[in-house]
Amino acid sequence: MLIGYCRVSTLDQQAGYEAQLRDLQSVGCEKVFSEQVSSVNARRVELERAIEFVREGDTLVVTRLDRLARSVADWCQIVAQLEAKNVGLRILNINVDTTTPTGRLMLNMLGSIAQFERELMLERQREGIAKAKAEHKFKGRAPTARRKTSDVVSMHQAGKKPTEIAVALGVGRSSVYRILAEAA
């Protein structure tokens, strides 16, 4: 059974939404899960439902890879979920179908290329951070718990337990213990 999934980020993308639905129906998708939600921060409920719905031997069909996954890690996770259920993946615009040996090869090649690009990006990022540190421009993330040292110490002196202090200040319990040990 062919199961379709389509997604657009905003309600303003009606033409793209309708085009995806049309393309999925034209290849024979018997059921289509669709949603209008950004893939960046929002939970994709219909994608979750589609992955839950598919059964062994089915194929999940999408029009483009970016309609399915928000990142390489997300894409790998989705593919792993489908493979665990013996479900194929078909991506229409690049003509990849993992139910065929060639499709699986192409998917693995795409994954390898994406991983390679990600590693290159991380390498450039590390180089940029090293350069910024050498020029004393990189400060890193500000420690959140250490800014509350005086509050931690005063609350502890007032008889509060570390767990209560952590909850009240919104910091980790281990941070409270570390601050108290340093203050002692």
Q: Distance between CA 150 and CA 144 in Å, rounded?
A: 13
CATH 1.10.10 in the chain, residue ranges = 146-183
pLDDT of residue 92: 92
- Which of 9-18, 50-59, 146-155 has the weakest average pLDDT? 9-18
Q: Is the pLDDT of residue 10 over 80?
A: no
Q: Is the pLDDT of residue 26 over 70?
A: yes
Residue 130 in contact with residue 112, Cβ under 8 Å?
no
How far, in Å, are 63, 75, 161 from residue 3 at the CA level?
12, 17, 54
SS3 10: coil
SS3 177: helix
CATH 3.40.50.1390 in the chain, residue ranges = 2-114
Q: Is the pLDDT of residue 12 over 70?
A: no
Topology annotation, domain 146-183: Arc Repressor Mutant, subunit A (1.10.10)
∠ CA 54-60-64 to the nearest 5 degrees? Answer: 150
Please provide the CATH number assigned to the domain covering 2-114: 3.40.50.1390
Q: Is the pLDDT of residue 65 over 90?
A: no
Provide mean pLDDT across the span 9-22: 79
Residue 40's pLDDT band (cuts 50, 70, 90): low
Q: Is the pLDDT of residue 122 over 80?
A: yes
Catalytically active residues are 9
Q: Is the pLDDT of residue 58 over 90?
A: yes
